Amino acid sequence: MNDSMLTYTNTTLKPYHSFGSNEIANYFTIITKKETIAEISIWCNQHNKPILILGSGTNVLFTKNFEGMVAKMEIMGIKKIAEDANEVLLEVGAGENWHHFVTYCIQKGWGGIENLSLIPGTVGASPIQNIGAYGVEVKESIKSVIAYDTQTAKWETLSKHECAFGYRTSLFKKNNNRYIISHVQFVLQKQAKLHIDYGVIRDVLHEKNIKNPSLQDISNAIIQIRLTKLPDPKIIGNAGSFFKNPIVSIDHFKELQNEFPKIVAYPISDTTYKIAAGWLIESCGWKGVRKGNVGCYEKQALVIVSYGIQTGKEVYDFSEEISQSVKNKFNILLEREVNIF
């Protein structure tokens, strides 16, 4: 292995992901510069070892030891590439903390991502999942993604269109571990259109008597909302929303609505509806339930929490029980938002 790569063998992953289970990585290293990515990829190809890039580990669940290389992404930096009267173009290192980046932009008066405040994770992970919250998805502010293609051994600058963004998915998620992201380029607005369509945001602003909210006001409202609903992963192990909100046909939705008049759902198109997964799970009686070292969070049924698990399989098995009960009651198969390894 290249001397510039400081690599450890048989390393516990417990400190590197939010569920805090004790699986082992055969090999472990930290990426602090772009050049290291190609070195790691080439070494893994030569030795027929899989590679997994970890950001802050807030959206992963390990269910077994990782028989390959786990590389923690710590490429940092926020660089202004271009600017005009209306917009600013930034290039941001994949290892930057996402919320710190959001806060930095708000302080500069650059809008577009304020609704994504307090989402745990790194900048490099944001396009993989196409993170979203309260009416905004990160794809709306991304210009391009700089990534190493492990299949062609070449660097690519992928445009927003080439990233194939969808609901909580992207080219990067569909081609798991093919691309290793080093930087993301964002276009942010100097006179941003504020997204306050969600009733819960308007409620918080109304409570504070804020009639002409700033970027900071929106961010503060989002933070307040998230803190009341979601546990801090530093205090109690979790990966945020464990399941995606399922999308069903309008016919299926009408059938459900007839049987369950209080079902929470939103129209996506003329033919589809998005169902609130948290409502489905809570309706099956899971909210606040604990089994051993795993539970369903008492304030938000969409969140599975760890009370000191030893293996991620405990969480996975618990999620299977939830998924099966929702399938039995609503004929909806929940899809996990968390990445399972």
Active-site residue numbers?
168, 241, 337
Computed on alpha carbons and rounded to an integer, the radius of gyration of the chain in Å comes to 21
In angstroms, the CA 85 to CA 299 distance is: 43
Bridge partners, residue 146, by sequence: 157, 183
Residues 6+ apart with CB under 8 A from 322: 243, 281, 284, 286, 296, 304, 334
In angstroms, the CA 220 to CA 212 distance is: 14
Name the nearest CA neighbour of 69 among 86, 56, 93, 53: 53
Residue 34 backbone class (left: φ over 0; alpha: ψ -120 to 50; beta: rest)? alpha
Classify 291 as helix, strand or coil.
strand
Name the nearest CA neighbour of 70 among 55, 54, 59: 54
**Concatenated DSSP letters of 57-96:** -TTEE--S-EEEEEEEE----EEEEEE-SSEEEEEEETTS
Give per-residue burial for 75-95: e unless 16+ CB within 10 Å, then b. beebeeeeeeeebbbbbbbbb
Torsion of CA 228, 94, 163, 45, to 10 degrees: -120
